[in-house]
Amino acid sequence: MKSHSTMIRQLLLLAQYTSLVTGHAIFQQAWAGTTDYGSTCVRMPPNNSPVTDVTSPNMACNAGGSTGVSGTCEVAAGSTFTVEMHQHNSRDCATEAIGGNHFGPVLIYMSKVSDATSSDGASASWFKVDEFGYSSDNKTWGTDLLNANCGKHTFTVPSKLPSGDYLVRAEAIALHAAGSVGGAQFYMSCYQVIVTSATSSGQVPAGVKIPGAYSAEDPGIKVDIYGNGFKEYTIPGPAVIDQSLF
């Protein structure tokens, strides 16, 4: 028979684990301007667990994200697109979008693909169009802004992009346990998007491969955000594309 103290320890561990899972989240809805597409065009992950291996093919579009869905979202080049994150299958703003002190940056990538409903993100070329890391002035993380805006993060689709099929990759990186290799938690979803543009011969920026763009030792991935020396944060991955493309 288990001792009383052993049972208490196990219950405490279970409570801690449950609390952490509750803090996990999924990017699961989208808006084009003021049009609410809901979950029409998202490749929904099977659960809210993070990816922790930066070399995994799941880094592209999450577990199961290599398979497309039937829906797409349409957005005009030069207009806004909003991704929306929540912990559960609910858009209730009373619950934090990503909880449990999951502090970290929010990053947005796009990729021009042949078919948004079937192309595999792991073989795509990704260019970064938006990011928010950490503001030392007011100690605000990208995930803090998600929580303040009911899970929403809005960015501008580059106006110089040619019309066609794209994948939009929304990512939040939780750094609360990132002081050691493998501690960072990556939450991402891919959205299937049709960009409409006045031209079919615009400029597609150079991109990177995901996996491949990150290393487990990158200073924005292996970082102690609670250390006494922490003041500035280096966002991982490539720089946001040149502003002339917006």
| pTM as predicted | 0.90
Is residue 33 within 8 Å of residue 75, measured between CB atoms?
yes
At residue 107's C-alpha, the angle toward residues 89 and 240, to 5°, is 155
Best CA proximity match to 77, nearest among 30, 130, 32: 32
**Once rounded to an integer, what is the mean pLDDT over residues 31-47?**
97
**Once rounded to an integer, what is the mean pLDDT over residues 16-25?**
56
pLDDT, tens digit (0-9, with 9 covering 90-100), for 56-99: 999 999 999 999 999 999 999 999 999 999 999 899 999 999 99
- The pLDDT assigned to 198 comes to 73
Tokens of 87: 């912990």
The yes-or-no verdict on residue 24 having pLDDT over 60 is: yes
- Alpha carbons 25 and 48: distance in angstroms, whole number: 5
pLDDT, tens digit (0-9, with 9 covering 90-100), for 126-145: 999 999 999 999 999 999 99
Q: What is the overall mean pLDDT for the chain?
A: 91
Residue found by looking up tokens 């922790």 in the block: 52
Q: Provide, rounded to the nearest whole percent, the portion of the chain with pLDDT above 90.
A: 86
- The pLDDT assigned to 228 comes to 85
The yes-or-no verdict on residue 4 having pLDDT over 70 is: no
The yes-or-no verdict on residue 9 having pLDDT over 60 is: no
Kindly report which listed range (51-60, 145-154, 171-180, 222-231) carries the lowest average pLDDT score.
222-231
Tokens of 151: 């899970």
pLDDT, tens digit (0-9, with 9 covering 90-100), for 154-167: 999 999 999 999 99
- Alpha carbons 120 and 38: distance in angstroms, whole number: 22
